Structure 1
Amino acid sequence: MSTDNAISPMQVRAKIRSGEWQHNTSGVASGFVQGNIVILPKTWADGFLQFCQKNPKPCPIVGMSDQPGDFLLSSVGDDVDIRTDVPSYKVFRDGNFVDEVTDISSLWQDDLVTFVLGCSFSFEEALIADGLEVRNITEGVNVPMYRTNIACKSAGPFSGNTVVSMRPMTPKDAIRAIQICTRFPSVHGAPLHFGNPESIGIKDINNPEFGDAVTIKEGEVPVFWACGVTPQVALEQAKPPLCITHSPGCMLVTDMRNSHLAVL
């Protein structure tokens, strides 16, 4: 299946549920919010909620399950089944990555709580609409993501450093991107940094820890946004007995519109 930005969120989820779509969701379902996913037992969910509230740029909550054990997320769309509607999931036990799967029905428990966090794919649409190039979409790859030395605020057992996504731009376009993304605090908001990667702890810009490398052209600088993969770093530190997240770049495509997240 080729990337199609005109396809509806429900059609995307149907293809994911059937197993037809098992790769990243960048650029699909134009106009609709995509979400990072964190699923935790109820006894760990309150602490994670507090961590998100203290770190709204990397962890902006746009939806949650109504009750522990709910796998249908009516707050973010019609017939959204969190067990099947993400292209790829990562499974962690005691903070250690143990598996990557396309269906978590067999892992589901009655005490699990789902968090849907805002994703940078939403503001990419606004950047493109303003005439800015988004290199990962141009090159048809997943956005590059990096671990940094930017510390998050701790909450109980949850702590760690921020993960960032990167898009190369000219300095002029980077300033325009800051102006645009400031309007979207629910999907990471304005960039955290642009320019020298080493000043935020990134040693090799051509070797991202998550996603794919993209071309940085002469005259361009790397522009870094807080990223929804950050919770995976915090979960590695906290070591809950079970945690399920999306695989980087493989998002839940919701029925919420990006335009509803903009702050005018």
Structure 2
Amino acid sequence: LTPHSSCLVGDDCSERCNLAHGSCDQDGKCRRQRLALGWLGHLWLQGDRLPNGTLFSSPGHVGHINPLFSLIHNVFFPSDIHICEHQSPCQNGAQCIYDRDGEYSCLCPEGFHGKDCEMKTGPCEKAGSPCKNGGQCQDENGFASNFTCRCLAGFVGALCEHDVDDCLMRPCANGATCHDGVNRFSCQCQVGFEGRFCTININDCASQPCKNGAKCYDRINDYDCVCPDRFTGKTCEISVPEPTWPPPYHPANQENAGGVKSTTSE
């Protein structure tokens, strides 16, 4: 395949300017289209491997490749397609400055700042970071008439100056004491309770305090033992001895009481 004739930098706009891959500028020069598919690939650097397998050895040139990669034309990279002149990223009337290493910087007019001078010196900067407790100041990149503060969780107020009282809803149960924190709270439980909200009654029977087969019933910070027969005490640890009874009482025959004899006369 025979490649299209490419226009050289600074050529007069003539028949040699391939309008399929370039255009005539107002100054009479032939300008290439930077992104014409199959023609202008990218900025080749020294040591880059070209599509035909060879190493490129002329830094600062652009590889012009036909669609089938059969021919490569290295022509000088035109300064007129640098980002500062092709499509300047600088905003708000800023001046784009080429840094010669492929980068750029923007010289911002008074009242603007940022990489591309996209931010205006607005209410946030004038107020000197007014938002408290890590709040983010917002003013539409300086173009808003007033600023607002976007607060971190746990803070409220126009300037995020107030810590939200996380104990306000009384989350702690069973007489626990609530301690407020930043977007959190903690509960100091009464004796006998545990858990985040102190809702869990500690099982005082877990250690099996009742002895001798007694049944344990959990209470609040206490327990009761129901003792079997012949045991007593808090934990049924005391053995009750079997009772000893006196021999049964049998009164004497009262028929001869008092020595009186019964006689029968004939």
TM range (shorter): under 0.3
Higher relative contact order (CA 8 A, sep 6+): 1
Instruction: Give the TM-score normalised by structure 1.
Output: 0.19
More helix by share: 1
